Structure 1
Amino acid sequence: MITKMTNAKTIYLVDDDDDDRMLIREAIEGIVKNVTIVEITDGQELLELIEKVNLETDPSLILMDMNMPRMSGIESLSILKSNPSLRHIPIVMISTTSNNELIRQAYDQGINAYITKPVSIQEYNHLAEAINVCFLSNYPTLKSIPASINLTTQQILIIEDNHDHWELMKLTLNTSMPNIKLTRTEDRESTLLFLTDRLKNAQPLPELILLDLYMPNRSDGLQILAAIRNFFTMHRLMMIPIIVISSSDHIDDIKESYRNSANGYMVKSPDLEDSLFYFQELAHFWKSAITLPKKV
């Protein structure tokens, strides 16, 4: 039985289209438990509301359309991410655009993820489950990964300093996803060496990075996160999604991870089966639901 996290979450849903807001809201409320959704019609209204709320508790996530009147998603995103007191709020942009330059610009401005706006009820439910797992630190609601999902080409880098934890993760993930390629590094130096060697030898970089936050201290994990971000910026590479993983569900740990540009935060379950399925869902959604800029 999957354990559900009970902490209340608030989502700001920013979109000028009434029908789109309704469909997204209904899908999320059908998947995510104990959630409050605040509907907002444009970026200017979002900024006005943010000034009035208690940022210690509100919001947990912003879902925002790219194209809106008065102030676009890109404009409000830039303002939010340039404010140190607001950088901890994860922002997922949802839009119909397939313009690679706009998607790249949104990531450069600091969005946590870009999701193409759904066109069917099934896709809206898929979006809601992706949001639930990847950005609200909740465990999957159902053990229901479609059998057709193909993760055979996905390469994942796991940064974990505890050898026993790594062996357990490797065993369980390889058992459930036998064709996935897993690599482990143990600290900042070995991580940068691995990335440098892959780049130098023209080998594919990982498609997803899972970073343990306490390495062994939180500051160590955050330093590794910053070092990876700096590596990709310095070499002008497309950024790889980095998901921070931890046994801690403390709000300060979550906020600091997002403040330091983590794409997502995953709370490990004490139950092995739950954690295994959580990893599967996480990999599945970052592969199938979330759009990254294409290489040019």
Structure 2
Amino acid sequence: MQPNASTKSVHDSTKQITLLIIEDNNDIWMIVSLMLKRQLPNVSFHRVVNAQQALDYLDERITNSQAIPNLILQNLYLPLLKDGLDLLQEIRAKLTAYSAQQIPILVMSSSDNPDDIRRAYQAGASSFYRKPADMNNWNSYFDRLRQFWLESVILPVT
């Protein structure tokens, strides 16, 4: 029996997904990249470590008519900025200026400060994920992220 759209595996739908990860901490990046490779083997991802690299990456993709990421994972606190909220607002403004689709931006932070959470949503975050404090919880963290953002919701086509 030939597989059709309704019988394809869940991971088939993630083949064309590209993630932009904005994370400056190398220790966290090692965990994130390991989890991405383990949980999302068919998803491609690109890492940048600061706001300027993120904006340059998006500029290059947009101006060269290359596919922009389907999803952005962004650390809340970044170097060279007071926080990642400025970057979040700049990404949203850039996408609007180029008439590009609105990419979901998932803010990842170790903070559980209600003000950080409120301000992230006000700046344009699609969701706010608290980073696990315990190493043993990273697998379930990315499992939930995968289930919701890559298996439940429909992302924009790039």
Please, what TM-score do these two structures have when normalized by structure 2?
0.83
Distance in 2 between the 1:158 and 1:294 partners? 18
Distance in 2 between the 1:238 and 1:262 partners? 15
Give how far 1:180 is off: 1.5
Q: Percent identity?
A: 37
Show the counterpart of 1:26. Answer: none
| 1:263 paired to 2:126 | yes
Structure possessing the higher radius of gyration over alpha carbons: 1
Contact 1:249 1:267 in 2 (8 A): yes
Distance in 1 between the 2:151 and 2:31 partners? 26
Match of residue 95, structure 2, among 216, 223, 232: 232
3-state SS of 1:287 partner: helix
Distance in 2 between the 1:188 and 1:293 partners? 23
How many equivalent residue pairs?
A: 149
Contact 1:173 1:276 in 2 (8 A): no
Contact 1:160 1:185 in 2 (8 A): yes
Show the counterpart of 1:45. Answer: none
| 1:149 paired to 2:10 | yes
Give how far 1:168 is off: 2.3
Deviations 1:105-160 (A, max 9, x none): xxxxxxxxxxxxxxxxxxxxxxxxxxxxxxxxxxxxxxxxxx93213322111101
Show the counterpart of 1:254. Answer: 117
Q: Amino acid of the residue matched to residue 148 of structure 1? A: S
Larger RCO, structure (CA 8 Å, separation 6 or more):
2
Give how far 1:271 is off: 2.4
Give how far 1:225 is off: 0.4
| 1:192 paired to 2:91 | no
| Cα distance change, pair 273–149 in 1 and its aligned pair in 2 (3 A) | farther
Distance in 2 between the 1:275 and 1:236 partners? 35
| 1:170 paired to 2:33 | yes
Give how far 1:293 is off: 6.2
Contact 1:159 1:211 in 2 (8 A): yes
| Cα distance change, pair 206–244 in 1 and its aligned pair in 2 (3 A) | same
| Deviant stretches of 4+, over 6 Å | none
Match of residue 65, structure 2, among 194, 202, 213: 202
Contact 2:51 2:78 in 1 (8 A): no
